[in-house]
């Protein structure tokens, strides 16, 4: 199912499926990274709460990037629980049944986006539905490229979604964050300083 995320993204955006080979990440794009991947590359204020999708490699070995207005599919069936303004756009918080953990709850956060009009609290989505586009970050003070930030977590039973703020994800009493990378199930590579 998770492989469908990349496949749906490819189709929804008219990318050549024969050429979209590998996701490409700078170390700072990875879960729990202490470093930035933009600007001065210095330290983050907090370890990274998710995974940033921005770059991919095509069949010719060329590294390409997602742009603003890239259409974003949802990975799992679920319900929209909240939306909030983030640093670069808006974040959509969804709740899903976690089939891997005996029907427990799983939370996903799609951040730095422009949500579709139908994405409102209580909206029901199916895996593969387009829920947003990547926000235009050209005017951000950070000078960061447009990208999708994706976080996964297991919410506390008493988690209140409204109002939701970014710092709530950082509180392990509220959300137990999970590395999204193993769930993508698509080839990827992590660049090194010399790349």
Instruction: Using a pLDDT cut of 70, give the percent of the chain over it.
Output: 94
- 70 lies in some domain: yes
More confident residue, 97 or 195: 97
- 23 lies in some domain: yes
Q: pTM to 2 decimals? A: 0.94
Confidence of residue 1 (pLDDT cuts 50, 70, 90): very low
Q: Tell me, what's the pLDDT at 101? A: 62
| Mean pLDDT across the chain | 91
Confidence of residue 165 (pLDDT cuts 50, 70, 90): confident
- 41 lies in some domain: yes
Q: Tell me, what's the pLDDT at 69? A: 92
**pLDDT tens digits for 6-18?**
999 999 999 998 8
- 134 lies in some domain: yes
- 178 lies in some domain: yes
State the Cα angle at 86 between 81 and 91, rounded to 5°: 30
Average pLDDT over residues 184-194: 87
Taking the C-alpha atoms of residue 108 and residue 120, their distance in angstroms, rounded to an integer, is 15
Domain that holds residue 33: 3-190
Average pLDDT over residues 161-182: 91
DSSP 27: G
What would the DSSP string read from start to end of 54-114? -EEE-TTS-EEE--TT-EEE-SS-EEEEEEEE-SSSEEEEEEEEEGGGTTEEEEEEEEEEE
- 18 lies in some domain: yes
Which is nearest to 50 in space by CA: 173, 177, 188, 193?
177
Query: If you compute the radius of gyration of the chain from its CA atoms, what whole number of angstroms results?
Result: 16
Burial state string for 94-104 with b = 16 or more CB within 10 A and e = fewer than 16? bbbebeeeeee
The full length of the chain comes to 195
**pLDDT tens digits for 117-148?**
999 999 999 999 999 999 998 877 778 999 99
Confidence of residue 195 (pLDDT cuts 50, 70, 90): low
- 195 lies in some domain: no
Q: Tell me, what's the pLDDT at 171? A: 92
What the block records as the tokens of 159 is 């988690």
Number of domains observed in the structure of the chain: 1
- 52 lies in some domain: yes
**pLDDT tens digits for 36-87?**
999 888 999 999 999 999 999 999 999 999 999 999 999 989 999 999 999 8
Please name the helix (run of DSSP H) or strand (run of DSSP E) that holds residue 193, with its range, or none. Answer: none
Q: What is the CATH number of the domain that holds 27?
A: 2.70.70.10
């Amino acid at each position: 199912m998770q492989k469908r995320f990349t496949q749906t993204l490819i189709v929804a955006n008219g990318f050549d499926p024969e050429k979209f080979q590998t996701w490409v990440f700078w170390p700072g794009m990875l879960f729990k990274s202490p470093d930035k991947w933009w600007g001065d590359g210095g330290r983050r204020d907090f370890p990274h709460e998710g995974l940033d999708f921005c770059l991919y490699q095509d069949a010719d070995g060329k590294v390409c990037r997602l742009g603003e207005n890239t259409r974003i599919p949802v990975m799992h069936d679920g319900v929209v629980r909240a939306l909030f303004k983030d640093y670069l756009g808006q974040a959509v918080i969804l709740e899903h049944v976690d089939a891997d953990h005996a029907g427990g709850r799983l939370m996903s956060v799609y951040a730095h986006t422009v949500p579709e009009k139908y994405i409102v609290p209580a909206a029901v989505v199916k895996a593969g539905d387009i829920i947003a586009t990547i926000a235009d970050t050209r005017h951000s003070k950070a000078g960061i490229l447009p990208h999708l930030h994706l976080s996964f977590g297991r919410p506390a039973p008493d988690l209140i979604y409204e109002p939701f703020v970014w710092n709530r994800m950082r509180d392990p009493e509220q959300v137990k964050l999970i590395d999204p990378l193993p769930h993508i199930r698509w080839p990827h590579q992590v660049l090194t300083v010399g790349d």
